[in-house]
Amino acid sequence: MILLAALAIIIGILLGLLGGGGSILTVPVLVYLAGLSTKSAIITSLVVVCITSSIAAVNHARAGRVCWKTGLIFGLAGMGGAFVGGRIAAFIPDPILLVLFACVMLAASFAMLRTRKKQEPTRQVGDKLCPENLPVAAILFDGLLVGLITGLVGVGGGFLLVPALNYLAGLPMHAAIGTSLFIIAIQAVAALAGHASHFEINLPLTALVTSCAIVGSFIGAQLSGKISTRNLKRGFGVFVFLLGCFLLYKEINPKMVAQIVELFKQGREFILGALSFLLLLCLYRLWSWLHSSNNMPTEEPPSTFSQCKTPFKDTLK
């Protein structure tokens, strides 16, 4: 229990330092250290994510760093995806859920390690913190996708939410972190509702992990100005990548492959329908991106003659 409490504090510290990502360690800790089943670990992780994110979001809201309109649009789509993900998880065997979780860990590690060339949107003095015009179609798609991941494997999705809010919705980084915490909290509630049909939770264990994570989040918030989060994020990304590879190595075996084949046979129509729906969403997202005003030229390019700083007749002098 002491080791579990220490790891929960570390998870909270990472949440406080990075604004997300730390909760991705909760499920492996609960499965391999506490001995919980995968579904019980996912449900426990959702409770931890919901409570810790809610407390952190309140602090950000008091400082005015939560964009409610953007958060509600993103969050409502995410709640739908999280509920569906929670319902689907009931029909997926535990080993397959762990493999899906490992894939999410690898995606999270790439997101942490990737160096973005695009800078944060520049803001002038007097600009509003929360933008008025939003790419609603793109936000709904991303919200649904992140919510689906949250419901399936029990992670908050902050590693996807913060960049999306920053670069897609145009929120400055501190507002993106505050808004993402609000979105994560309401997504976790919807995901728990989706898991209601197979809700199994160890209350003493959940209370211990949650309380330690909350304590750690406050410690992380205090350390955020003293530690280079960029280097910490890269180091944590490498660790998450290695842990995801370990989960894949441990869980992928002939028995699990046979379970995947059997699962596809039993729910072939549903799986094909879900994939078709996601394909339509992707195509619509692509269409909206191609037709967005952000990708259209706003003015005619200057002609060659207008670029000349010195008139031709002056060169003859």
Model confidence pLDDT, tens digit, residues 242-284: 888 988 888 887 877 787 777 777 767 766 666 676 677 677 6
Q: 125 pLDDT exceeds 70?
A: no
- pLDDT for the residue numbered 124: 46
Sorted by where each begins, the domain ranges of the chain are 2-252, 255-291
* pTM beyond cutoff 0.85: no
Q: What integer best gives the mean pLDDT of the chain? A: 77
Residues 55-90: tens digit of each pLDDT? 888 878 888 888 898 889 888 988 998 998 888 888
Query: What average pLDDT does range 8-29 have in this prediction?
Result: 77
Residues 41-50: tens digit of each pLDDT? 888 888 988 8
Distance CA 183, CA 109 (A): 21
- Tell me the residue type at 213: A
Residue 270 region by backbone torsions, left for phi larger than 0, else alpha for psi between -120 and 50, else beta: alpha
Residue 303's CB: how many other CB atoms inside 10 A? 8
Q: Provide the pLDDT confidence category of residue 312 given band limits of 50, 70 and 90.
A: very low
